[in-house]
Amino acid sequence: MRLILLGAPGAGKGTQAGFIKDKFNIPQISTGDMLRAAVKAGTPLGIAAKKIMDEGGLVSDDIIIGLVKDRLKEPDCAKGYLFDGFPRTIPQADAMKEAGVAIDYVLEIDVPDEAIVERMSGRRVHPASGRTYHVKFNPPKVAGKDDLTGEELIQRDDDKEETVKKRLSVYHEQTEVLVGYYNQWAASGQPGAPKYRKIAGVGPVDQIRDSAFAALSG
């Protein structure tokens, strides 16, 4: 099972990625993790990436694709792999295609913006324990207070409505084009084209999980 997960920030990709990894016994490929590991190990690509990052630059797609190709040679990728958060742009998707990175499925988790804003901006956190609540879906017993300690809950900066809306607009501008890109490729019938599947990412988590598994079995 070799797949790419697509969806807006807050669509629940991380949660579903966990279920998919466990079911198919495949690793989740995170470009951030790969970069950190390569820098730490002092590989040629890691050294090149560190130099760019130390200068405050963005690591090039060529280096990222090189890291991806190296990562996919590792034994834990024998049964497949899951990409979440990569590719983010058409050039990255093209580079993956040119590098011959095989993809069986592209799974899009579709959640309307207003549902994501409600989901993220309603989150409240107890900083000391990491316990999370939601003002609507999972409220604390006493508004604004942790159930166990009675301490104040906070809203993380990442969860503030304006931050969420900004991240969504970046997604729509930069990454949403991949939906069309993979859709067209899947419909082309070309050799090596992935299957494209879209599921609704609203509702109970296990219902979404079952939709994802069903989408990946046909």
Considering 21, 88, 195, 198, which one is annotated as catalytic? 88
Considering 79, 141, 156, 166, which one is annotated as catalytic? 156
167 is annotated as an active-site residue = yes
Is there a contact between 208 and 11 (Cβ–Cβ < 8 Å)? no
Predicted local confidence at residue 55, as pLDDT: 86
13 is annotated as an active-site residue = yes
pTM of the full structure: 0.85
Considering 123, 124, 197, 209, which one is annotated as catalytic? 123
131 is annotated as an active-site residue = no
209 is annotated as an active-site residue = no
156 is annotated as an active-site residue = yes
Q: 3-state class of 4 per DSSP? A: strand
Cα-based distances in Å from 218 to 109, 203, 208, 213? 16, 22, 16, 9
Residues ≥6 apart with Cβ < 8 Å to 30? 84, 85, 86
Predicted local confidence at residue 35, as pLDDT: 87
Mean residue pLDDT of the chain comes to 93
- The parts of the chain modelled with pLDDT lower than 70 are none
